[in-house]
Amino acid sequence: MLDGMVIPNNFGSSIFFIRENTDSKPTARKVRSMTEEKRESKGWRGINPSSKFWRTLLVILAAFLTFAGPTYLVYALANVLEINYAVSMISGLVLFMIGLGLTLYLIRNKVIS
């Protein structure tokens, strides 16, 4: 029969002391916290950027937002939907910034080398 005690520490994990029987000395092993296990299993909000499919999709999305957002979307908003030119330019700038942010995220996580 196992009995033990969990002691949390400041590093996001816990130390679990196991005592197998009353005659033996307690041994310690590190137990991973639930947040570490969730982070490894689910990735970035349910998206695993290390899989080949998600890497390809995120790179294509970053390129589309960076290049097509400020050009084609501005044209579609200004000329096709006849929205104010300043609003369409601001939306193009916002999409460009989102595309750059996604590109920086992919570079920092070494999805793009």
Q: In whole angstroms, what is the distance from residue 72 CA to residue 95 CA?
A: 11
| Helix locations, 1-113, DSSP H | 34-42, 52-63, 74-75, 85-108
pTM: predicted TM-score of the whole model, two decimal places: 0.56
Bridge-based pairing of strands 27-31 and 3-8 is unpaired
pLDDT tens, position by position, 63-113: 999 999 899 999 999 999 999 999 999 999 999 999 999 999 999 988 887
State the pLDDT confidence band at 1, using cuts at 50, 70 and 90. Answer: very low
> Per-domain residue ranges for the chain?
3-41, 47-108
pLDDT tens, position by position, 13-52: 555 555 555 555 554 444 455 455 555 555 556 677 678 8
Q: Provide the pLDDT for residue 39.
A: 52
**CB-CB contact of 30 with 13 (8 Å):** yes
Q: Long-range pairs for 26-32 at CB < 8 Å and ≥24 separation?
A: 31/6
